């Protein structure tokens, strides 16, 4: 199961302050964006919602079922985000919402000019590795995704700025919304490359690198070898990989090895030492330190928790 990254939930409104029990809306308007906080305190079905601009929504509490044109309905849970296009209408079910278990969701409405200016700047000053895949924001194929730590951090700063009373908050908000757009595009690029690398291995150098990493995860993997596969210098490969995908090649290798370690730890007969080496680590102390850093528990405790669940 992937790690859940979500901004801290905001205080809920007392019942007496709610104007409606279904999608009660609180709005914070800034020059650079509009932040909406929606909360629902009773079950409801087929509730339509249209924002009039491109919106990033992020679940904080509870569960929704989303209906978007052109795709099957899907569950929407905390730690996930959905991009909704400018002309799209969300139709939402709240199958479990009640007074004790309300839903809460952020919706950041982003002006079209801000999106266009940010994308144009990136394509002109920081082009992606493949010319046929310029920077863009996809509100269709990769619109529902797990939050990354980087995106979550940016969203938390947007919430703080929205509620701030400082005189320069609009200046800071402009920079932060641009950062959020970059984080969104990096997250979508990860989904494209990390989850569909076989499909793109012959047309995208980073997909080719990801395929090699997955096929040689237990072997020694060096930036020199990976940059050679990408037909780039070591420095350029390291810089562009992080710029496009939001993490370094080394961080990606660590994440893949930890994911494999978690899979192996779930086997009842596995030992922590055996898992360490089978997942590609060559030092048990280093493995345990990294596992605790990324997962919040030691490998041994993770194994016990999984066995007890």
Q: Give the residue among 10, 2, 3, 4 at the shortest CA–CA distance from 158.
A: 10
For 145, phi then psi, to 5°, come to -155, 165
Among residues 127, 143, 146, which one has the least CA distance to residue 135?
Answer: 127
d(CA 6, CA 268): 31
pLDDT tens per residue, range 131-140 = 888 999 988 8
Contact between residue 252 and residue 213 where contact means Cβ atoms under 8 Å apart: yes
pLDDT at residue 4 in the model: 75
Average pLDDT over residues 136-160: 91
* Cβ count within 10 A of residue 262: 20
Provide mean pLDDT across the span 154-180. Answer: 91
Dist CA 244 CA 252 (whole Å): 13
What is the average pLDDT across 115-127?
A: 95
Q: Average pLDDT, stretch 143-152?
A: 92
Checking if the pLDDT of 129 tops 60, the result is yes
Segment 41-51, tens digit of pLDDT: 999 999 999 99
Q: What value, to the nearest 5°, has the Cα angle with vertex 166 and ends 161 and 169?
A: 45
Provide mean pLDDT across the span 99-120.
Answer: 95
Is the predicted pLDDT of residue 58 greater than 90, yes or no?
A: yes
- Residue 44's DSSP bridge partners are 94
> With pLDDT > 70 as the criterion, what percentage of the chain qualifies?
99
| pLDDT above 70 (res 118) | yes
Neighbours of 99 (CB within 10 A): 9
Higher per-residue pLDDT: 306 or 108: 108
pLDDT for residue 3: 63
What does pTM read for this prediction?
0.88
Mean pLDDT within 56-73: 95
The owner of tokens 């959905």 is 82
Per residue in 263-297, pLDDT tens? Answer: 999 999 999 999 999 999 999 999 999 999 999 99
Higher pLDDT, 191 or 248: 248
- Kindly state the average pLDDT of the residues 86-109: 95
Lowest mean pLDDT among 17-21, 140-144, 243-247, 281-285: 140-144
Categorize the per-residue pLDDT at 1 as very low, low, confident or very high, splitting at 50, 70 and 90.
Answer: very low
């Amino acid at each position: 199961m992937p790690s859940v990254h979500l901004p801290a939930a905001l205080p809920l409104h007392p019942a007496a302050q709610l104007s409606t029990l279904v999608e009660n809306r609180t709005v914070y308007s800034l020059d650079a964006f509009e932040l909406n906080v929606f909360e629902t305190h009773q079950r409801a079905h087929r509730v339509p919602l249209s924002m009039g601009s491109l919106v990033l929504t992020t679940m904080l509490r509870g569960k929704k079922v989303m209906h978007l044109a052109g795709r099957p309905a899907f569950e929407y849970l905390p730690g996930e985000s959905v991009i909704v296009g400018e002309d799209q209408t969300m139709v939402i079910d709240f199958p479990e919402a009640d007074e004790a278990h309300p839903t809460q969701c952020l919706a950041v409405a982003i002006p079209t000019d801000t999106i266009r200016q940010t994308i144009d700047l990136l394509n002109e000053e920081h082009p992606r590795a493949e010319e046929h895949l310029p920077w863009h924001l996809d509100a269709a194929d990769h619109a529902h995704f797990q939050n990354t730590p980087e995106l979550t951090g940016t969203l938390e700063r947007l919430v703080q700025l929205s509620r701030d009373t400082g005189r320069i908050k609009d200046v800071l908000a402009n920079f932060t919304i641009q950062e959020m757009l970059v984080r969104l595009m990096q997250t979508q690029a990860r989904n494209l490359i990390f989850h569909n690398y076989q499909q793109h291995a012959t047309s995208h150098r980073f997909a080719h690198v990801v395929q090699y990493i997955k096929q040689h995860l237990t072997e020694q993997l060096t930036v020199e070898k990976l940059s050679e596969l990408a037909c780039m210098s070591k420095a350029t490969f390291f810089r562009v990989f992080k710029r496009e995908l939001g993490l370094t090649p080394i961080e990606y290798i660590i994440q893949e090895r930890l994911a494999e370690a978690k899979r192996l730890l779930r086997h009842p007969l596995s030992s922590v030492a055996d898992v360490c080496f089978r997942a590609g680590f060559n030092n048990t102390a280093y493995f345990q330190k990294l596992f605790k850093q990324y997962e919040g528990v030691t490998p041994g405790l993770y194994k016990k928790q999984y066995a007890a669940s």
